[in-house]
C-alpha cells in the first residue's frame, strides 16, 4: 500500500486521525458540468458531490474580503493585513462585538445573494428536477488556527428531523482550505450508516412527544447532537476512512442529510483563518422544518 502524502497527524478535538490508507482517503472531485444524471448517480452512491470550481473564484474571494473587513473593528484581524487573507490577530477579540457582527452578517443582502448565486440554484434545480428552496437559517463560520474545538461527527438530519430527508447541504469554502486548515472531512460510505442510525433513533424515540422526537438533544442524543468527537474510533468501529480534501475558493460540496462529517483542527502556522458557509436546499414542495425558518442566532437552540 502507498503512504499518502497528507500532513499527519490530523487532529480533531484532541483526537488523532493517522494517515493509514485504511482510515484516511481523498474526497472524489466531480465536474459540475457533467450530465445531471451522472451527478445524481454519484450523489446517491457517495452521499456527497465535491463540485470543483462551480463558483467564480474571484467573487468568492471578494466575499471573503467583505466578511473579514466587517470584523476588523472587533480586533479579529492582524493589523495592516488585507482582510482577504483573513489573518488572525492573535489578540483577545471583543466577543460581544463579534456576536453582534455575526448576527448582522447572516442578514446581509450580500450574504443572501452569495448563497443564491446562479450556479448554486441552477445546480439544485437540475438535481431536484424542480424548484429549490433555500433555508433561511444559514451558517457562516470562521475557524482560528489552533482552535481546540472542531465540529464533531454528525449527520445533518439530526437537526432537521421535522422536514424532508432529501434536504441537501452546501458546504462552501470561502477561500482556499487546504487539508491542514481543517476543512470538512467525510466518513466514506456513511450515507448508509446515517440512514441506519436514524432508523434506530426513530425506533428509540417512538414513545416521546413530537417535540422530543425531532430534537437533536433528546435523551437518546448527546448534548451537542453529535455522534462523537472521537473521529478515529468511529472510523475503526465502522471500518471506514475519513475523506479529506484540499478545497479551493470556487468549490462547493453538496452532502446528503445522512452523510457523516466533521471538521479537523486548523493547523496552519501563518495565522490564516478558515472561512466557510453551510446552507441547506430542498425541493420547495417538500415539507420544511419550520425551526429553520429564521435567521441563525446564537440562542436558537438548533
Ligand X SMILES: O=C(O)CCC(=O)C(=O)O
Contact between 30 and ligand X per CB under 6 A:
no
91 by Cβ neighbours in 10 Å (0-12 / 13-18 / 19+) ranks as exposed
Contact between 256 and ligand X per CB under 6 A:
no
Contact between 276 and ligand X per CB under 6 A:
yes
Choice from 263, 273, 275, 288 touching ligand X (CB under 6 A): 263
Choice from 63, 171, 247, 281 touching ligand X (CB under 6 A): 171
Closest to ligand X by CB, 152 vs 210, is 152
> What is the secondary structure of 24-81 as a DSSP string?
EEEPPEE-TTS-HHHHHHHHHHHSEEEETT-S-HHHHHHHHHHHHHHTGGGT-BPTTS
Q: Which of 49, 20, 48 is nearest to 33 (CA)?
A: 49
Choice from 12, 158, 169, 265 touching ligand X (CB under 6 A): 169
Look at the block and give the residue holding cell 474580503.
65
Least separation, in Å, of the C-beta of 255 and ligand X?
A: 7
Least separation, in Å, of the C-beta of 3 and ligand X?
A: 27
Grid cell of 216 as nine digits: 437533536
The SS3 call for residue 190 is helix
Contact between 251 and ligand X per CB under 6 A:
no
Residues 176-205 that bind ligand X (CB under 6 A): 184
Choice from 117, 151, 158, 256 touching ligand X (CB under 6 A): 151
Instruction: Tell me whether the omega of the peptide bond preceding residue 259 falls within 30 degrees of 0, making it cis.
Output: no
**Site residues, ligand X (CB under 6 A):** 141, 151, 156, 169, 171, 184, 261, 263, 276, 278
Amino acid at each position: 500500500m502507498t503512504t499518502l502524502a497528507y500532513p499527519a497527524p490530523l487532529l480533531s478535538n484532541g483526537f488523532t486521525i493517522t494517515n493509514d490508507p485504511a482510515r484516511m482517503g481523498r474526497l472524489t472531485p466531480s465536474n459540475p458540468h457533467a450530465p445531471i444524471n451522472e451527478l445524481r448517480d454519484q450523489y446517491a452512491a457517495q452521499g456527497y458531490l465535491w463540485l470543483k470550481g462551480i463558483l467564480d473564484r474571484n467573487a468568492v474571494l471578494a466575499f471573503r474580503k467583505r466578511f473579514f473587513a466587517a470584523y476588523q473593528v472587533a480586533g479579529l484581524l492582524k493589523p495592516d493585513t488585507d482582510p482577504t487573507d483573513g489573518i488572525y490577530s492573535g489578540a483577545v477579540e471583543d466577543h460581544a462585538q463579534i456576536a453582534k457582527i455575526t448576527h448582522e452578517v447572516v442578514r446581509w443582502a450580500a450574504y443572501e445573494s452569495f448563497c443564491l448565486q446562479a450556479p448554486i440554484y441552477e445546480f439544485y434545480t437540475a438535481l431536484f428536477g424542480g424548484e429549490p428552496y433555500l433555508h433561511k437559517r444559514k451558517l457562516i463560520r470562521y475557524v482560528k488556527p489552533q482552535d481546540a474545538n472542531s465540529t464533531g461527527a454528525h449527520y445533518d438530519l439530526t437537526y432537521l428531523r421535522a422536514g424532508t430527508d432529501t434536504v441537501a447541504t452546501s458546504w462552501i469554502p470561502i477561500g482556499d482550505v487546504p487539508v491542514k486548515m481543517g476543512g470538512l472531512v467525510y466518513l466514506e460510505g456513511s450515507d448508509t450508516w446515517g440512514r441506519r442510525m436514524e432508523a434506530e433513533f426513530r425506533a428509540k424515540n417512538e414513545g416521546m412527544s413530537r417535540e422530543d422526537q425531532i430534537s437533536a438533544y433528546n435523551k437518546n442524543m448527546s448534548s451537542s447532537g453529535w455522534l462523537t468527537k472521537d473521529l478515529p474510533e468511529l472510523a475503526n468501529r465502522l471500518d471506514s476512512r475519513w475523506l479529506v480534501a484540499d478545497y479551493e475558493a470556487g468549490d462547493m460540496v453538496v452532502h446528503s442529510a445522512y452523510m457523516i462529517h466533521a471538521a479537523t483542527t486548523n493547523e496552519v502556522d501563518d495565522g490564516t483563518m478558515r472561512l466557510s458557509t453551510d446552507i441547506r436546499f430542498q425541493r420547495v414542495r417538500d415539507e420544511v422544518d419550520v425551526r429553520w425558518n429564521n435567521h441563525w442566532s446564537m440562542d436558537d437552540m438548533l
